[in-house]
Amino acid sequence: MTEREPPHGVEAGAAHLRRTESGVEAHMVDVSEKPATRRSALARALVEFPAGVLQRLREGTGPKGPVEEMARAAGVLAAKRTGELVPLCHPLGLDHVEVTFHPRGVDALEIRCSARCTGKTGVEMEALVGASIAALTVYDMAKGLDKGIRIGVVELLEKSGGKSGTWRAAAFDG
């Protein structure tokens, strides 16, 4: 069996798994032969607040200071360190990471993280990790106001580059 064939009981396309004499092992995919291409990804995390909490945070009256700026810094730092946080994820030299905040109604905040690089593997995980950690930072900085804050959907909105080209979530309107 070659390294590219799926192990017995493992779906085709499970590139991080291979069968050995002792069973199935996880391994980092070898991307050394792939060409470097421009890649980008955009992810989001939705944070939902009890009534009035988001307004207080946006007015700067949260218990821990400027929530969005701390969450922005945390999201950028997390995206840059994704290879250390997610097993089998390649460490990437990111060219750009941006974290933005978009109110959704009066009690929800959408956090978007975009990531870009020229590399041999995609930046979807970097965008997802950045959005997730930014959302967790918002929770941490706001929990003194109300512990009922909820982090909802975390999802990839779009990606481009590499062999699979461009992909966009069906409901994503840009």
Tell me how far apart the alpha carbons of residues 171 and 174 are, in angstroms, rounded to a whole number.
9
Strand, coil or helix: what is 173?
A: coil
Whole-prediction pTM value? 0.85
Q: Is residue 17 very low, low, confident or very high in pLDDT (cuts 50, 70, 90)?
A: low
Residue 122 identity (one-letter amino acid) = G
| pLDDT higher than 70, residue 7 | no
For the chain, domains (ranges, CATH) are 1-30 (no CATH), 34-168 (3.30.70.640)
* Catalytic residue (choose from 95, 107, 140, 146): 140
Give SS3 for 49.
Answer: coil
Q: What are the pLDDT digits (tens) for 101-114? A: 999 999 999 999 99
Is 95 one of the catalytic residues?
no
Q: Say if strands 167-168 and 150-160 run parallel, antiparallel, or are unpaired.
A: antiparallel
Q: Is the pLDDT of residue 116 over 90?
A: yes
CA–CA dist 153, 106 (Å, integer): 17
